[in-house]
Amino acid sequence: MVKQALLLVLLGGIFAVFYLVTEDLSELYNNFGKTYFQLNGLLETGSRNLVTAIYLDYRLFDSFFEAGILLVAVAGIIWISKHDLNEKNAQFMLDRYKTPDLFITFSRIVYPMMLVFGFYVIINGHLSPGGGFQGGAIVATAILILYYIDHDRETNIKQIVTIEKLVFFLIVLVASLSLLTRGEFFTNFMPLDSSVASKAIYLVILNILIGFKVALGLWTIFTAFLREGR
Amino acid sequence: MNPLLTFIVVLIGFYGLATSKNIIKSVFSVTIIESGIILLFLNLGNFEGGGIPIVGESLTNIVDPLPQALMITTIVIGSTVTALALMLSIKVFHHYGTVEWAEVLGRKDGE
């Protein structure tokens, strides 16, 4: 009881600090970045979607390390799930024969639609809401449904991780191509005065690569989880 | 939306982190804190009646695209961190046979 009261007092204190911080929040924030992106974003990057313009051109360095963190986390998950030294209770996993037939049937109908929708979101990332990360998550969810349709499906995890590393290397390669054409790292490899449509080539390529990378990474993660339960 | 509401979401996560007796629930609490922070950042560039940040789509003034682009990073990293924590808790379950903090730490009082 005393602990609960102390905890509530502590949370109230944190809330008070937050409240004091928000007094200045509207003064700290300004509109300069927004107006710059709105005026120059399409001309400089060739992307109508300004969010894509930021994470594929202005802040590509961030996205690069984000993909790297995904790769490292996948490697860590595989490494943790490998060492089965002292297992006591390993029979807790779901009963694979209790998946309803209705669910399996609808999964077969929904699966191709989800794949197509995922690829649409990836390829149209520079025109409409979406992009490589979101579309990759949709494609990975579609692949997850495959495991419900076919229970005994086996996936070679090592192959997927090898492909993922190759795709990561390709992302670095495409991002570094701008060194040859523009003389600077991590930006669009098309010249600055080329048309908006030709600049979109770079965005589509990078969106597809990032989408594949995210899809393969999430696929590996839930394959590791499924293997843990078997 | 008032940013204080997002702080309340963060505080709910803190409360869950402090009081939960289950490892899985602690992982969920971390996820709730992360959601609160994502809401705070999206709230920064947002305003009433703002258009989507796509050139040519919205006729009105757009919302700020920079916090949204940053939050994509946060969401992807958050999902991988959650997956890593859940895999570790599976390993804890295999090793100790339980996911209760008190039993894992060897205490009897349950607090």
Domain boundaries, chain B: 3-46+65-104
| Burial profile B31-57: b = 16 or more Cβ within 10 angstroms, e = fewer | bbbbbbbbbbbbbbbeeeeeebbbbee
- Note whether residue A136 is domain-resident: yes
Contact A37 B53 (CB under 8 A): yes
- Note whether residue A21 is domain-resident: no
Number of domains present in the structure of chain A: 1
Residue A224 has pLDDT above 80, yes or no: yes
Decide if B58 touches A, using CB distance below 8 A: no
Q: What is the pLDDT of residues A91-142, one digit of tens each?
A: 444 455 567 788 888 888 999 999 999 999 999 988 888 888 899 999 999 9
- Note whether residue A73 is domain-resident: yes
- Note whether residue A56 is domain-resident: yes
pLDDT greater at residue B26 or residue A32: B26
- Minimum-distance CB partner of B7 among A15, A49, A90: A15
pLDDT at A135: 93
- Note whether residue A133 is domain-resident: yes
Residues B77-101 have a mean pLDDT of 88
Q: Are A54 and B64 in contact (CB under 8 A)?
A: no
- Note whether residue A119 is domain-resident: yes
Would you tell me which residues 61-100 of chain B have a C-beta closer than 8 angstroms to some C-beta of chain A? 62-66, 68-70, 72-73, 75-77, 79-81, 83-84, 86-88, 90-91, 93-97
pLDDT band at A86 (very low <50, low <70, confident <90, very high): very low
pLDDT band at B62 (very low <50, low <70, confident <90, very high): confident
Torsion of CA A33, B9, A24, A39, to 10 degrees: 10
pLDDT at A98: 67
ipTM > 0.85 (yes/no): no
- Note whether residue A129 is domain-resident: yes
pLDDT at A37: 87
Reply yes or no on domain B3-46+65-104 having CATH 3.90.79.10. no
| Dist. CA A34–CA A22, nearest whole Å | 21
- Note whether residue A2 is domain-resident: no
Residues A52-78 have a mean pLDDT of 89
Q: Are B75 and A132 in contact (CB under 8 A)?
A: no
For residue B100, count other CB atoms closer than 10 A to its CB. Answer: 13
- Minimum-distance CB partner of B54 among A50, A90, A217: A50
Q: What is the pLDDT of residues A135-145, one digit of tens each?
A: 999 999 998 88
Give the residue numbers spanning the domain of A112.
47-81+95-229
pLDDT at A118: 94
